[in-house]
Chains A and B, each alone.
Chain A
Amino acid sequence: MIEDVTHNRADLQFGQGFAEQLGDVRLSACFMCRACTSVCPITRLNDSFNPFRFVRLALFGYIEEVLESGLIWFCTNCYACQEKCPHGVRIPDLMTALKNLAIKTGYAPREVLLQMNIVKDQGRIYPIDEFDNKKRGKLNLPSLPVSCEAVSTLFNENSE
């Protein structure tokens, strides 16, 4: 668990390697007031989830530990932390960057991968079929396309 991270790997040279991958989320602006943690609705229910700790761990380069813990997926992206941060640290953007990194490094839950694949293949999280359109018709709602060609062009690298 990330509470037990030892300090022997602290990488104070952090800034070159990971910063680029995380984007400009203003990590170093954190002055440790913990306002983020105090308003986080998830921390209240599960105290191993702690936005402040993610900021500090990322700042010191403990990315692998964070990804391994799987805790990043508990963030609901509700923005409560960002709204309250007096120094403009973009914690939800940090969480998104970490989640993207988890996908690339094989730490993502199956559900997240499934959702990504459905959206990339079908252009929707809930693809519409003829049955849906029938139901929509009965309610006087317009029918919707049952397939999407745009996504195959957008996400297929070779379809120049």
Chain B
Amino acid sequence: MTYAFFLGCTIPARSRGYEMSSRKVAEKLDFELRDMKEFICCGYPMKASDKVSSELMGAYNLSLAERNGLDVCTLCSSCASYLTEVAYHLAEEGPKRDEVNKQLSRLGLEYKGGVKVRHFVRVLYEEVEPKEIKKHFKRDLEDLKIAIHYGCHYLKPSGIYENFDSADYPKSIEKLVSMTGARVINYAGEQNCCGGPLLPIDEKTALSLAKEKLDAVFDVGADALCVVCPFCSVMYDSNQKTMLSGSGTNFGLPVLYLTQLLGLAMGFGKKELGLNMNVVKTKELLKKYFI
């Protein structure tokens, strides 16, 4: 299986642990994530300011993948959602695609509407047999209690995602986490947004939203929170200390990417999975497995 690997902006600059662990997991599963240096931002960060330009950026990336005869695989949920949305709107021939292609032609490109966009986690869930994943497992993570944060754009807007998982009662990530032997535990407000997009606008509200979730996850006694998007990780991992300062509490709740969990089960080391780059220390958690 080969996909054009869409890294986006945040992951290669700020969430390298996610990138490293995903590459390790893909490698193990004999799954090629082909690097494409020409890819630029998916366009989503500009949707609010200039939708026309943002769609053009999305289409530019899709046309590059199409020229290489590949579908796109992303790690970031916002990239997944936005590129899926652009592909959805440009799937049919019409004035919209003509306009986009008029602009792309200045770069000698054209989008014909044939690219599929997939989040890496969706690929693992839909296209890899559980036994193919499990056969690479070397550690049983049965001592871990994991809370899952699906986030918004991994599942929504559901209309563009062909119902690969339910937006209200999702189970795809839970299935993958359970394969490792870890116990998935539920908590209040699982569907809530991390608040990330609000960070530059109103830090206080953004952090309150994130803290609500961490409170709930901490209350049920989870060992770690599992995420699949770098923006969610920034909120729960990078900002965990900031949001708790002055409150007299310190959760010290590790926030792991799903690929880091899978990588642990596959026997990879701490540094190979970039776990040493997590902001909230994972030391205690890893001690259980003598890592």
Binding site for B on A (CB under 8 A): 41-42, 45-46, 73-74, 76-80, 82-83, 92, 96-97, 99-100, 103, 108-109, 111-113, 115-116, 119-120, 123-126, 128, 132, 135-136, 139-142, 144-145, 148, 150-151, 153-155, 159-160
Contacts and interface: CB of A to CB of B under 8 A. Distances in A.
A160 B16 CA distance: 37
Contacts of B41: 119, 123-125
Contact of A145 (B37, B152, B193): B37
Contacts of A120: 46, 50, 53
Task: Give the size category of B's interface with A.
Answer: 35 or more
B198 A139 contact: no
B106 A159 contact: yes
Given A141-B12, A144-B12, A153-B107, A96 B201 contact: no
Q: Which 9 pairs from chain A and chain B are nearest by CB?
A: A123-B40, A78-B193, A126-B13, A79-B156, A116-B49, A99-B48, A78-B152, A76-B197, A125-B9
B46 A41 contact: no
Given A79-B157, A151-B40, A111 B200 contact: yes
Nearest to B205: A45
Nearest to B193: A78
B61 to A, nearest CB: 10
B153 to A, nearest CB: 8
Interface centre among B7, B49, B53, B168 (most CB of A within 10 A): B49
B186 interface: no
22 contacts: A41-B192, A41-B209, A42-B209, A45-B208, A76-B197, A76-B198, A77-B47, A78-B152, A80-B152, A80-B193, A82-B157, A100-B48, A100-B50, A100-B51, A108-B49, A116-B45, A116-B46, A128-B13, A136-B12, A139-B20, A151-B40, A154-B53
A136 B9 contact: no
B284 interface: no
Nearest to B53: A155
B107 A74 contact: no
Contacts of A125: 9-10, 41, 45
Given A41-B192, A79-B152, A144-B37, A96 B51 contact: yes
Contacts of B274: 139
A126 B10 contact: yes
Contacts of B238: none
A74 B205 contact: yes
Interface centre among A73, A78, A153, A159 (most CB of B within 10 A): A78
